[in-house]
Structure 1
């Protein structure tokens, strides 16, 4: 049990604090139940406290520190080696790049817009060299995704 958990010592004689904690827990559980699908519910239905549910969901979807570290390593490698595919259009490539960046951000790794813009421009194949030069000669620092 963590510091954020609560314990009700006497169910027959609830204090005002116990009532407030119980109500907050019920509200938090209901909120979580309303936003998850039935498959996810099956993973958490045995939890009685919202803090337990949150911990289980975090471990399932973010992972332990070791898993998180491995995910970061893989995503950083994907970003470093990112290239446009031969049969890919620019919007599709941009979407793939944005997914990697979003996943990195979700794991707490912040990527600067400058770095993403640079990666995007450097991934363009030679047929886009003129476009790349026009953008680079402009205000690249002011360029946003």
Structure 2
């Protein structure tokens, strides 16, 4: 139960940050990332390399597809598929990151604002997972490896 409360707490922090800076910080892919980090911390896709690099790579793919094909559901699906391929080649698979590419193609956020917030939020999720794992006695430590 503690992992659920820790995940909820970090998501509420993202909402609070967004409220203060008047930007949407909590996006659905980050909620999915929090769930994976806190409920399956030993999985390769929960490790910091996959969480942070996966979101960053899929953001790049999302912006590239948006520039090349525009904003449409077809382009969003293409961005998710290409993002998955790129993460696989980079060995940074993180399934929620595919949705980051979709969010970018469908919502067209400004890269100068969106990318730093995305990377910072993913980093915060990882740090919260690390801190929560040390607050729970007799549980596996997160992360299993940092990079």
TM category, shorter: under 0.3
Larger % of helix: which?
A: 2
TM-score by length of 2: 0.27
Higher relative contact order by CA 8 Å / sep ≥ 6: 1 or 2? Answer: 2
Largest Rg, 1 or 2: 1
